[in-house]
Amino acid sequence: MNYKKNFIIIFTAIIFLFFFTYSSSVFSENTSKIFINGQNNTQNLEPLKSNGAVLVRSKALADSIGAELDWLGSINTLSITQDEKTVKMMVGSPYIQINNTAIKTESPMVIKDGYTYIPFKDIMNVFGFLIEYDRIDDAYYLFKPQSHLKEVMWGPNRQSMILMMDNIAPYRIKLTDDPKKLIVEIEKAAVSPKFLDKVSNKNYYLSTKRIENKATLQISLTSKYPIPINSDEVISEQNGNLIIQFMPQITAINWKENGTLEIQANGDVTKPEVSFLENPRRMVLDIPDLLLSEFEKNIKDNEWIKNVRVSQFQFEPMVLRVVLDLKEDKYLNIVNKEKTDTIVLKPAHRAKISDLNYENHQIIFKTDASIEPDFFTLTDPERLVINLFNTYRDENILDEINIEKNIVNRIRVGRFDSQIVRIVADLNEMTSYRWEQEQYSKGTYIHRISFANKFDNIELLDQNMYTNININVSGEVNYKVRKFSYPHRIVVDISGKEITPNEIELPDPVGIVKEMRMSRFELDNETVTRVVFELSDYYNHNILSDNPDSNINIALAKSKIQGENNIIVLDAGHGGFDPGAVGSNLQEKDVNFKIVKRLESILKSHGFKVLLTRDDDTFISLSQRVQFANNNNARLFISIHNNSSNKNTSEGTETFISPNKTGDSYLLANSIQNQLVNGLELVNRGVKKENLYVIKYTKMPAVLVEVAFLSNPNEEKLLRDEKFITKTAVSISRGIFDYLDKFKD
């Protein structure tokens, strides 16, 4: 009996010591604050620290999330159940049982002052809460996910990647220095239990993870090749999903049964720049805006090509280089093609050029084999350049032909490289041209390059405040615009022998244009084509094009604009969770907001009503920004951004408009770009067209400004300077005023 009594005493002491250890000695003071779904629950949860982990009262935690709690005192076990998920813990045990599995926790459940305390981070993770920790305030923020990632898949032809979501949550593309890695971060989002990865393969690897101490889901795509994006603006929203638009990628290089070589891509390809090299003989094709990827290659056994090599020649600007190792005395020519996603080359013979001449507005020459010339134009001064691949000059061809008082004033001939003869036509003014090849006899081909202008088309675009007239001509023309009354009409007189009126289809009337007609007549010994636009009403018009120009653009005001609508929406790009581009320690969202606030002050001082898509450091989705501008019937929409690149030498200012908007948006962009370049004295990257969401779907004239490069140390330094911020805002305001001045009565 004494032995048994002593054993009970010793066992009781051990149990007491065990509970004392986990109920008193390991606790320390805790000042952490805990917020659940935006509510401060610190007082109810009474957090304390044990073994470095934060523990909270179990009953208070269960009540705060609507869970059921069950305590089995006989075995010191606690159960918490929510949404068919049950968590079990035992006092002193470092393991948590979750249905039929178990995990190890930072600190076991303990008893203090008669209450059970549990490790809240592990429990809340189990129940699907996202946890964000603010080290400065020592505060934990717990959220139920606002959105779940259900699936990641390729878009059509792999030109985009689609992130299927059940709701749009704050998102961003995180730019990296690695062109083979793409990171998308979505705030307050989680991966769906039934998530599908339809992207990963031998060339791509997709991974997802939660960022430590952040309620953020990170989606990483790692590729064997550079990932085809060119900025952080390529992400957009569509039907509740996120879409990342890619640049075209090479997909195949094949020698076809019909004896041609085809270079294929998954999107439209731009005409390559071609050159030839010797020792060994090579044909080099530099294809702009095309990215290297896994591609099919099959050149079979053929008489023309030994081998094909492909490389990413440049990243900025993006250029793909295809090198064709040619066999001895074999030649290839690029041929005209119907498919916009394919470059076609066919076998050719080296041709001799002879009898070059100019007459009746035509450059005429002969060859002894069929050829496929390459044409492009240059300005300042105006020139037409003709590259004749796989050719050589006959002795009778002069180096230079001078012509007096004509469209062409001089023709120059020279050798560009070992296989290309180049003809340059110096023009008095830019005009259109047409090339024709005719087989004159066996072994003789006559080539005519005719210079003349013709109508391409006439477009009418009805917008919120204006009806735009676009008259597109193949080359630059001189014109006059006149306004007549009774009835109201705009008359455009175009000089030159352009086209007969019945050769162009007139568009249907829209906006305040109710009728159109064309005629042709002689005026002061000059042929004039007249286009008449009869109007239902007239308030004001402005000519947005130069004279001469190949695109005549006229904006017709649909109401008395001046003073009636002075609402300008300013959009500070990025914000909140999304910092945009990041310099050494400067975030784009902050710079954008500073510029917008400075610009807001200037515009308000001039009497404009200025609305901001965001008035603080808040994430606003792209669709919310667009809806805000459209719902407020804004007159103008200006989105302010700053740029970034993998190359820290990239520099300059550029302004974007949407390709589906011309006329007034272009005029606004051009005015702002000119003022920024003059005011900031940075490199002029020009006005560009891009399908960026906020300028594509806004109904009013809209532009997106990229002021400078945060990735460039010199320009980042400027963006830190308050004087530079003010100078930027002043320059943009001057661009806006220049644009609006064109519509004053």
- Report residue 73 as tokens: 């005192």
pLDDT at 594: 96
pLDDT of residue 574 exceeding 90: yes
pLDDT of residue 26 exceeding 60: no
Say if residue 170 is preceded by a cis peptide, omega within 30 of 0: no
Q: Which residues contact 629 (CB under 8 A, 6 or more apart)?
A: 569, 571, 611, 613, 637, 698, 699, 700, 702
pLDDT at 105: 87
The DSSP line for 367-379 is ESS----EEEEET
Quick one: CA dihedral 657, 663, 665, 666, positive or negative? Answer: positive
Say if residue 47 is preceded by a cis peptide, omega within 30 of 0: no
- Report residue 222 as tokens: 């790692």
The answer to whether the pTM exceeds 0.75 is no
pLDDT-derived band at 21 (thresholds 50, 70, 90) equals very low
pLDDT of residue 488 exceeding 50: yes
Classify burial at 556, counting beta carbons within 10 Å of its beta carbon; exposed 0-12, middle 13-18, buried 19 or more: buried
pLDDT at 92: 87
pLDDT-derived band at 535 (thresholds 50, 70, 90) equals very high
Q: Across the chain, which distance is largest between two alpha carbons, in Å?
A: 136
pLDDT-derived band at 20 (thresholds 50, 70, 90) equals very low
- Report residue 196 as tokens: 């599908």
Question: Which carries the bigger pLDDT value, residue 100 or residue 150?
Answer: 150
Instruction: Please compute the mean of the pLDDT values over residues 113-133 and round it to a whole number.
Output: 88
pLDDT-derived band at 744 (thresholds 50, 70, 90) equals low
In 3-state terms, what secondary structure has residue 240?
coil
Instruction: Please compute the mean of the pLDDT values over residues 537-566 and round it to a whole number.
Output: 76
Looking at every residue in the chain, the average pLDDT score rounds to: 87
Catalogue all structural domains in the chain, each as residue range(s) with its CATH number.
2-143 (3.30.457.10), 147-245 (2.60.40), 250-348 (2.60.40.3500), 351-451 (2.60.40.3500), 455-557 (2.60.40.3500), 567-741 (3.40.630.40)
User: What count of Cα atoms within 13 Å lies in the side-chain half-sphere of residue 112?
Assistant: 22
**Strands 567-572 and 636-643, sheet pairing:** parallel
Angle between helices 713-720 and 722-741 (to 10 degrees): 90
User: What count of Cα atoms within 13 Å lies in the side-chain half-sphere of residue 407?
Assistant: 21
The rounded distance, in Å, linking the Cα atoms of 692 and 695 is 6
pLDDT at 81: 93
Classify burial at 90, counting beta carbons within 10 Å of its beta carbon; exposed 0-12, middle 13-18, buried 19 or more: middle
CB distance 666 to 544 below 8 Å: yes
Q: Which percentage of the chain shows pLDDT scores above 90?
A: 47
Classify burial at 438, counting beta carbons within 10 Å of its beta carbon; exposed 0-12, middle 13-18, buried 19 or more: exposed
pLDDT at 9: 46
pLDDT of residue 16 exceeding 50: no
Amino acid letter for position 656? F
pLDDT at 564: 55
Question: Which carries the bigger pLDDT value, residue 17 or residue 72?
Answer: 72
- Report residue 231 as tokens: 């900025």
The rounded distance, in Å, linking the Cα atoms of 435 and 438 is 10
pLDDT in tens, 2-14: 555 554 444 444 4
Q: Which percentage of the chain shows pLDDT scores above 70?
A: 93
CA-atom Rg of the chain in angstroms: 35
Place of tokens 């996120």: 242
pLDDT-derived band at 293 (thresholds 50, 70, 90) equals confident
* Nearest residue to 395 via CA among 349, 354, 351: 354
* Nearest residue to 694 via CA among 613, 624, 626, 608: 626
pLDDT-derived band at 500 (thresholds 50, 70, 90) equals low
* Nearest residue to 600 via CA among 743, 725, 693: 725
